[in-house]
A and B are shown apart, each in its own frame.
Chain A
Amino acid sequence: GAVVSQHPSWVICKSGTSVKIECRSLDFQATTMFWYRQFPKQSLMLMATSNEGSKATYEQGVEKDKFLINHASLTLSTLTVTSAHPEDSSFYICSASGSSLYEQYFGPGTRLTVT
Chain B
Amino acid sequence: DAKTTQPPSMDCAEGRAANLPCNHSTISGNEYVYWYRQIHSQGPQYIIHGLKNNETNEMASLIITEDRKSSTLILPHATLRDTAVYYCIVGSSNTGKLIFGQGTTLQVKP
Using a CB–CB distance below 8 Å, which chain A residues touch chain B?
4, 6, 32, 34, 36, 43-46, 49, 91, 93, 95, 97, 100-109
Chain B residues in 8 Å Cβ range of A103: 46, 49
- Given known pairs A49-B97, A103-B49, the reply for A44 and B102 (CB within 8 Å) is no
Chain B nearest CB from A65 CB (Å) reads: 22
List the B residue with the shortest CB-CB distance to A110.
B43
Chain A nearest CB from B74 CB (Å) reads: 19
The answer to whether B96 touches A34, judged by C-beta atoms less than 8 angstroms apart, is yes
The answer to whether A95 touches B100, judged by C-beta atoms less than 8 angstroms apart, is no
Chain B nearest CB from A90 CB (Å) reads: 13
Indicate with 1 or 0, residue by residue over B90-106, a CB within 8 angstroms of chain A CB atoms. 00011111111111000
Once the chains are docked, how many angstroms separate the CA of A6 from the CA of B36? 19
Once the chains are docked, how many angstroms separate the CA of A46 from the CA of B32? 18
Chain A residues in 8 Å Cβ range of B94: 101
Chain B residues in 8 Å Cβ range of A6: 43
- Given known pairs A43-B102, A103-B49, the reply for A49 and B44 (CB within 8 Å) is no
Known contacts A44-B38, A102-B93, A103-B46; 4 additional CB pairs below 8 A are A36-B100, A43-B103, A44-B100, A91-B41
The answer to whether A4 touches B43, judged by C-beta atoms less than 8 angstroms apart, is yes
Interface residues on B, range: 20 to 34
Using a CB–CB distance below 8 Å, which chain B residues touch chain A?
32, 34, 36, 38, 41-46, 49, 87, 93-103
Main SS of chain A's interface residues? strand
Name 12 A/B residue pairs within 8 A (Cβ), A-sorted: A4-B43, A6-B43, A32-B96, A34-B97, A36-B100, A91-B41, A104-B46, A104-B98, A105-B46, A106-B36, A108-B42, A108-B43
Going nearest first, the 4 A-B pairs with the smallest beta carbon separation are: A101-B96, A106-B43, A44-B100, A43-B100
- Given known pairs A43-B87, A45-B100, the reply for A101 and B44 (CB within 8 Å) is no
- Given known pairs A109-B41, A109-B43, the reply for A102 and B101 (CB within 8 Å) is no
Once the chains are docked, how many angstroms separate the CA of A65 from the CA of B36? 30
